[in-house]
Chain A
Amino acid sequence: MDHSVLARRFVSDRDRAAWHDRALWFVREKRDRQADDIPEWERLRETASAIKQHTMSRLADYLEAFARHAQARGVQVHWARDAAAHNRIVHTILKRHDVRRIVKSKSMLTEECGLNPYLEERGIVVTDTDLGERIVQLRQEAPSHIVLPAIHIRKEEVGDLFHRHLGTEAGESDPARLTEAARRHLRQEFLSADAGITGVNFAVAETGGFVVCTNEGNADLGTSLPNLHIACMGMEKLVPRTQDLAVFLRLLARSATGQPITTYSTHFHGPRPGAELHVVIVDNGRSRILQSESFRRSLNCIRCGACMNTCPVFRRSGGHSYESTVPGPIGSILAPARSPHRHHSLPFACSLCGSCTDICPVKIDLHHELYTMRSVLDQQGALSRRKKLAMTITSHILQRPWLYRTAGRLLRLGLRRLPRFLLYTPLNAWGRQREMPPGPRRAFRDLYRRQPKDR
């Protein structure tokens, strides 16, 4: 469904839309305070961007080095071309260990691959352990934000949900008490799990190790109790050297939630004694994006979510209106790059204000890519007929000055003279939520031409 259709539903609840907007802006302001605290912030961003671009230009060598070093440390490395292969590999490992229950920490990659439903269909109980993810899992919906999965949900709704599922008191909406209930519930899940699945924030080519960042400690509990740990990683998560981690860990949490660092930044270099550690490296369309000169920088993304928090469209339309695992500005590039026909409306859910580009810690040229994506989608014939028609007419008019002047004259006249029922038709999207301005008598070009020459 078009982003605009779903966004309209979201904004129809004005209070909630305004609250959502404020909640995300609050996070953006926290980010600003952290960034301002670091005088070399811009240098960090430039360094991070250069490291990522370099890594992408030699990704195959670095992945090979990573795999070699990881294997030498007793890590079993798997390679998945696409989501289906990823799910199959994970399931095969779980089956070999006769796993019934798994605890999962946040991983956008497994969301992208649809791992949860795949495993559940095969009789495995999957518990998401990030509190926000657990909330949306109990509601049987997808996360609406990659860092703040339940940012669209009010505490009263969490209270109702926990009352039904975790037996908290009816009407309880205190975040501290609700979190305590989730803590008790999820501790039991951690203790009874047969395996832990995590994502990967950064993998290091020169050591074969990787880093997972959380605030809650859920990835750590999920991997320090069961004897099987599977880490699922998108192939772009690599950095060449250990010291590169300094750059990225300094940027990640500050950009994401306005913290100086996540509570836990855990470095895994091999399995626990007596346990198994597997890493599944996933392509799933990434090598195609890498080939594209216009869009390859989107692979720099470290999934901090800052572009979502700052985006005026995201804040006012909610993550679900993107219908994509990664929503917001970065998702509006990644999703149509992968499935143009399914996600064609996303790059248009953007005013090209450039706020995302300004804030991105790895300097992805987001709004430029969004702009380019629009014409790519047109060339691929992925635009809706209506959008295509509007574009064709507009382009026709803009290419002919006499037609542009005539159209302007008619529009100004129409705005002054036409009765409301003709002006505010369903065809006039601009008139849906706002009053049209009164049509001025003269066009700007007339006023400009008539101004005194000596000024």
Chain B
Amino acid sequence: MTDDSILPDSARHFLERLRSAQPPATPLPELPVTGPWLTFDNAAERFQAMTEAVGGRCLFVADAAAAEAALEELPAWSRAATRCSLVANIGSSTFDPAAVDDPHELQHTDFAVLPGEFGVAENGAVWVTDEQVPHRALFFLPQHIALVIPAEQIVHNLHEAYDRLRPQDHRFGAFISGPSKTADIEQSLVIGAHGARSLTVLAVQNRF
């Protein structure tokens, strides 16, 4: 199995030592997608509750216009001097992130509206990738972010989530659950550690 032309000596020695240390084989358990795992009567409701439990906000809105209106009501958005949106018809941009070469230039971004693929009800996480986002720093550097997901795209748990996503199709993909936080000083929860100080999920019912 070892292809000497690809693996360097250090790897071959490493693996040889390892092979002689390995215990007898044990089976790999099957992982069903459904059956044993937690589901909810109302996944959307649970997703909303969990997003709030992890310090975020989740708004279900009818369409893009309603999402836009909900955004306008957020003080962090209306106050934002430097902002951008990578979601069609929701929000507006004061600059074009695609025209930025160096992600360091994004450091003054106050608010970014970004696409998410789907939500996970059990933990309030949203799956995001770099597909329509030119710099992954946009998920972490702005002071505030909003993630826009189609309202019907909410799975019950992580097993269902991994069943539908192929993380290897993107150099970057992440579950983001709520705003950045820390409890490293005396276990006191503080929102806004390094990343976004607030995270709003806009779950849009009729996307187009």
Closest-CB distance, B15 to chain A (whole angstroms): 5
The one of A241, A242, A288, A290 that contacts B23, using a Cβ cutoff of 8 Å? A290
**Most chain A Cβ neighbours within 10 Å, of B18, B141, B170:** B18
Whether the pair B172, A272 counts as a contact (CB closer than 8 A) is yes
| CB pair A179 B38 closer than 8 Å | no
Q: Once the chains bind, are A187 and B194 in contact (CB under 8 Å)? A: yes
Distance in Å: Cβ of A163 to nearest Cβ of chain B: 14
The answer to whether A242 and B162 touch across the interface, beta carbons within 8 angstroms, is: yes
CA distance A258 to B10 in the complex (A): 40
Interchain CB contact under 8 A, B186 and A175: yes
B87 is an interface residue with CB less than 8 A from chain A: no
Cβ of B175 under 8 Å from chain A: yes
- B-side contacts of A225, CB under 8 Å: 103-104, 137, 141
Distance between B167 CB and nearest chain A CB, rounded to angstroms: 4
Q: Which residues of B contact A241 (CB under 8 A)?
A: 31
**Which of B25, B103, B181 is A58 in contact with, Cβ under 8 Å?**
B25
- B95 contacts the other chain (Cβ, under 8 Å)? no
Report the stretch among A60-68, A91-99, A437-445 that lies at the interface: A60-68
Contact A179 B7 (CB under 8 A): no
- Which of B27, B174, B181 interacts with A265 by CB under 8 Å? B174
| Interface contact A267-B173, CB-CB below 8 Å | yes
A47 to B135, CA, bound (A): 36
- B184 and A218 within 8 A (CB): no
Q: In the complex, what distance in Å separates the CA atom of A158 from the CA atom of B140?
A: 25
Residues on the B chain within 8 Å of A323, using CB: none
Q: Does A360 contact B (CB under 8 A)?
A: no
A59 at the B interface (CB under 8 A): yes
> In the complex, which residues 13-40 of chain B have their Cβ closer than 8 Å to any Cβ of chain A?
13-15, 17-29, 31, 36-38
Chain B residues lying within 8 Å of A270, measured Cβ to Cβ, are: 171
Q: Given that A39-B38, A175-B190, A216-B182 are contacting pairs, would A247 and B31 also be in contact in the complex, using a CB cutoff of 8 Å?
A: yes
Q: Please provide the chain B residues from 116 to 147 with a CB less than 8 Å away from any CB of chain A in the complex.
A: 120, 122-125, 135-137, 139-141
Q: Does A417 contact B (CB under 8 A)?
A: no
Task: Kindly identify which residue among A57, A151, A263 contacts B22, using a CB–CB cutoff of 8 Å.
Answer: A57
Minimal beta-carbon separation of A144 from chain B (angstroms): 12
Binds A, one of B60-68, B71-79, B153-161: B153-161
Residues in A neighbouring B42, C-beta threshold 8 A: none
Q: A187-B107, A224-B136, A260-B124 are in contact. Are A175 and B172 (CB under 8 A)?
A: no
Residue B150 at the A interface, CB < 8 A? no
Asked if B184 and A130 make an inter-chain contact with CB atoms under 8 angstroms apart, the answer reads yes
Q: Contact check, A272 vs B180: say whether CB atoms are below 8 A apart.
A: no
Point out the residues of chain B lying under 8 angstroms from A132, CB to CB: 182, 184
Q: Give Cα A81 to B162, complex, Å.
A: 33
Q: Are B18 and A63 in contact (CB under 8 A)?
A: yes
B137 pairs with A221, CB closer than 8 A: yes
Per-residue interface assignment for chain B, residues 176 to 192, with 1 indicating a CB less than 8 Å from any chain A CB and 0 otherwise: 11111111111110101
| CB contact under 8 A between A263 and B159, given known A154-B186, A221-B141 | no
Q: Which residues of B contact A388 (CB under 8 A)?
A: none
* Also in contact, A158 and B158, with CB within 8 A (given A40-B38, A191-B104, A287-B21): no
Structural contact, A43 and B36, CB atoms closer than 8 A:
yes
Q: A130-B184, A149-B184, A179-B190 are in contact. Are A261 and B174 (CB under 8 A)?
A: no
Count of inter-chain pairs, beta carbons less than 8 A: 262
With contacts A283-B14, A288-B21 taken as known, whether A26 is within 8 angstroms of B175 at the C-beta atoms is: no
Are B195 and A217 within 8 A (Cβ)? yes
A144-173: contact bitstring with B at CB < 8 Å (1 yes, 0 no)?
000011110011001000000000000000
Contacts of B104 in A (CB 8 A): 191, 225
User: Is the beta-carbon distance between B185 and A221 smaller than 8 angstroms?
Assistant: no
Main secondary structure of the interface of A (DSSP, over half): helix
Closest to A250 in B: B158
Complex interface: stretch among A48-56, A326-334, A368-376, A407-415: A48-56
Cβ contacts A216-233/B at 8 Å (1 or 0 each): 111011001100000000
Question: A50, A61, A221, A264 — which one has the most chain B CB atoms within 10 A of its CB?
Answer: A264
Chain A residues whose C-beta falls within 8 Å of the C-beta of B136 in the assembled complex: 220, 224, 272
B14 and A81 form a contact (CB under 8 A):
yes
| CA–CA, A190 and B137, complex, Å | 11
In the bound complex, do residue B28 and residue A40 qualify as a contact, i.e. CB atoms below 8 Å apart? Answer: no
Q: Are B22 and A269 in contact (CB under 8 A)?
A: no
Asked whether A180 is an interface residue with its Cβ less than 8 Å from the other chain, the reply is yes
Interface pair B14/A281, CB less than 8 Å apart? yes
Neighbouring B residues of A264 by C-beta, 8 Å = 140, 174-177, 180, 195
Task: Say which residue of B23, B179, B186 sits within 8 Å of A57 (CB atoms).
Answer: B23
- Please indicate the chain B residues that have their CB under 8 angstroms from the CB of A217 in the complex: 140, 180, 193-196
Extra inter-chain contacts (6) besides given A63-B18, A263-B195, A265-B125, CB under 8 Å: A40-B37, A50-B29, A79-B8, A175-B190, A183-B194, A264-B140
28 examples of A-B residue contacts, CB within 8 angstroms:
A38-B38, A43-B36, A50-B28, A54-B27, A60-B18, A60-B22, A67-B7, A68-B6, A81-B10, A81-B14, A131-B185, A131-B193, A148-B183, A155-B185, A158-B185, A215-B181, A217-B180, A217-B196, A220-B136, A220-B174, A242-B166, A246-B162, A260-B177, A261-B175, A263-B180, A266-B173, A266-B174, A272-B136
The residues of B with any CB-CB pair to A shorter than 8 Å are 1-2, 6-8, 10-11, 13-15, 17-29, 31, 36-38, 50, 53-54, 103-104, 107, 120, 122-125, 135-137, 139-141, 157-159, 161-163, 166-188, 190, 192-196
Top 6 nearest A-B pairs by Cβ distance?
A217-B195, A132-B184, A260-B123, A216-B193, A175-B188, A246-B158
